[in-house]
Structure formats: structure tokens, C-alpha cells
Structure 1
């Protein structure tokens, strides 16, 4: 239920009457509610417009996940509709994309929202999640990458970025989901290391030299919060790499530079 609310809240439910209504639907961490409510100023204007339309339907009584995985937008001669992948559910009505602040009316509209720029989503990984910045800090952010610190492909990806650090500036978020408790333990030690630079090198190279000196009272919450992002970004494979304009891929592409350079 938490995963459902995170994905839905950031895409739609954040426009409901209040954060209190969301808390009535399920118990969420306070920082997660803050993350859901956080948005860029221009997003808030659009969210308010959607909120007004939803409020016409009255107070939110409850929320229930529907048994479907994918939705398709269909443009027909006499109108448009949204249909589930198995054809079981057909939704006839107005479709709004809160992240892009657009109403989807045509196939062209649907095509334009296939990618969601990271800045449109309304959260700041550098402030809210356990992360390291790898590459050239003088460059604009290249994107956000979610990584499991126990993953061999994570090491390949990060070493490639380090070897080409003059070309990239990635925010790398710790998401310990592949290696179980070992991944969580490693993520905690990397995030809580006193020597952050050595911890970053350990993450990149799969080493553990920074483990000997950890911050007392270091909170694991920024690491835990990253797990809630899996539904939001439809993460099924790590590393999950999101270019700043929203182009994304699960795993480390063999020709990474070619993938990154595509339009």
C-alpha cells in the first residue's frame, strides 16, 4: 500500500484536499509526506488547478489499488480513452499529467510526456536521499542514478563515470534492494562514513576502507526513503539510470556514452 501511495501521490494524490487525507489512507513517514508535498513553484499552480477539479468530487473516502500494470492512451476518430494492457479496464475522461502540467488529448501529447525531466518531479535527491556526486561538479547535473552498493554492474557504471569524469556530473543515490541485508549494511556504512571522499571511492571500487570510522547517530532514513522511489520511477533493475531530461534505462548499457548521447 505504501508503494501505491508514493507513486500515486507524487503523480496525482498530492493534489487531493490535504496531507491529512493521505495520512488517513495509510501511515506514511513524515519525511515521505513532505517529499510528496514538495514541488517546484510552477508545478504548484498546475496542481492547484487539478486539485480544484478533484475537490468537486468531494472528500477522499478511500484509495484502492487496481489490478493492472500498464496503461495505454488511445486516440480514436471520435475521441480518446485510456485502456489497461489486458483490455480489462477502459477509462473515458480527461487525463492530466501533473509532472508535465499537461492535459493528454492526442497521441502527440502522449509522446511528449514519455520522458519526465528529473527537475519536474518535485523532489531534491541531494537534500532528501543518501547520495554521492560523481563526476565534474562544475557541469550541470547529468542525471540521477539509483544504485545497489553490492551490484557488480553498479561498480562498472561508476568506474566508467569516474574514468570520464570531465564529461559527466551524476547524483548517485543508494538504493540497497538487490543484496538484501548485506546491501543495506554496506549502504549504511558508506553513507555514515566520516570520510565521505573515501566512502565515495569505496562505492565506486567495491572496497571498504571507509568503514573503520563512522558517524555516531547517523540516520538511515535517507537510505530507507530511496526504497520508496522504486514504484515512482518504475525501477525493476539496478542500476537505474535517469538522464536529466528523463531518458532512463534499467541496468548499465554496454555502450553507455552512445546511450547518453542519443536525442
Structure 2
């Protein structure tokens, strides 16, 4: 990914260093440059932002910025010091939330209370010790009104033994029972091969910045890596809901 970005940045520096063109022309030129230097690159969005002379480009779920004249490319955080708002993180959260909202819940493994107050999405790895520790508290999460939706993220990657275990779980007839057994390091019986979402969920996790397990994604796109105990999670969810208004 970094090699692609470096190539893109270099191409932009060369291609746009002498241009000063209108928004629509700028956007089209950026798209054409991306096609020349990274043919498979398909930016989800190119637009001007509130910072003068900067354009925001979203590519593969990642954000970078271009100056209006195309001379400079910037990869990093933009913070509005007047409002103390991290503008980049705000956009990244929106991207994450949108990506999760497009998923079908039937492709997740869901543990839900009768009347859920909150929903959390958790990228999980069958072999991850902290994921296993977290799953031991699944009933406690539910008792607090927290609905847990598991997404597969075998950290060793597609084709690894962890990936195979996740595929077995997602192919099981009783997925809740299967993931509970797997996280207890017990065999899953009578598992057939099936078309499963494990690879797609893993690639989505990489795309939105997941690099550890468990990783929690809240409704607003907030990402929190690491095991969070039920009592701490409910407080965090309440605070998050209050801050959202």
C-alpha cells in the first residue's frame, strides 16, 4: 500500500506542479493521474475541504490530501485548532461507519440480548488470546444490553490455519456454538465447506485500519483496539452516545 501511495504522490508532484484549474477539472485530472500511475486505483471521493487550497482524496478507505496546484501531497492528520476538532479522524470515522453499515448482519456471528441498547462490531481472531478472554464474558455484555456482532479477522492472513478455523466457524450450522467451541480450543464437528465471508471481512478490516484483535467498531465509526471488559464498555458506550447528542 505504501509503495502505491509513494508512486501516486510522485506522479502527482510531476503531473500537477504547473496546473491551476477549476474544481471539476482538478478532480478529473487527479483521477486520470491515478489511473496512469496505479491503474487499479479507484478513489471513492475527491473533493475540496474547508482548509484553503486542499483537496481530500479517499482511496481504498484511506485519506490523503492534495494542494490545489497539485504540487504537494499530504498524508496525515488535519486538526482545526479553533474547535479542537480532528477533521481527518472525523472523516475516517464516517468512512468506517458507512463501510460497516453496508454489511449484511446474516454474515456476522451475533450475540444479542432481548432488548439491545447498544450494538458493537468486533473484528475477532479465533486464536487471539484476548479475543478468547473477551468471549468468556459474552453473557455479561448481553446482560448489560450490548449486542455483539463478530466479524472475522484472522491476523495471520488468508490461507493461514487461523483463517481455516474462522471459515469452519462461519460454515457451521450453529455459528454461535461453533465460535464458542473454537475459542475454547475445542474441535468443531460436522463442518462442511461453504461460501463464507471470512476473506471479505478480513480485507475490509485491513481497508478501514484494523491491525489488532479484538478491535471494536462503534456505531459512529469509532475504532477501539484491545479487550474491553463489559463494565468499562458500557460506560464508554454511554459516554459516546451522550457526546453524539
Class of the TM-score when normalised by the shorter of the 2 chains: 0.5 to 0.7
Contact 2:96–2:208 (Cα < 8 Å) also in 1: no
RMSD: 4.2
Distance 1:4 1:198, change over 3 A: farther
Distance 1:258 1:178, change over 3 A: farther
Q: 2:174 aligns with which of 195, 205, 213?
A: 195
Contact 1:80–1:105 (Cα < 8 Å) also in 2: no
Alpha-carbon distance in 2 for matches of 1:153, 1:141 = 22
Alpha-carbon distance in 2 for matches of 1:134, 1:4 = 39
Do residues 184 (structure 1) and 163 (structure 2) align?
Answer: yes
**Structure 1 position 120, deviation (Å):** 2.2
**Structure 1 position 160, deviation (Å):** 2.4
Distance 1:149 1:58, change over 3 A: closer
Matches within 5 A, 1:66-215: 79=52, 81=54, 91-93=66-68, 110=87, 112-113=90-91, 115-116=93-94, 119-121=97-99, 123-126=102-105, 129=107, 131-136=108-113, 138-139=115-116, 142-166=119-143, 167-178=145-156, 181-203=160-182, 205-208=183-186, 211-215=188-192
Alpha-carbon distance in 2 for matches of 1:154, 1:241 = 11
Structure whose alpha-carbon radius of gyration is higher: 2
1:183-215 CA deviation, whole Å, 9 max, x = no partner?
Answer: 122112211223334214325x52435x11113
Query: TM-score, normalised on structure 2?
Result: 0.59
Residues matched between the structures, number: 188
Alpha-carbon distance in 2 for matches of 1:4, 1:170 = 35
Alpha-carbon distance in 1 for matches of 2:186, 2:153 = 18
Alpha-carbon distance in 2 for matches of 1:140, 1:117 = 23
**Structure 1 position 136, deviation (Å):** 1.8
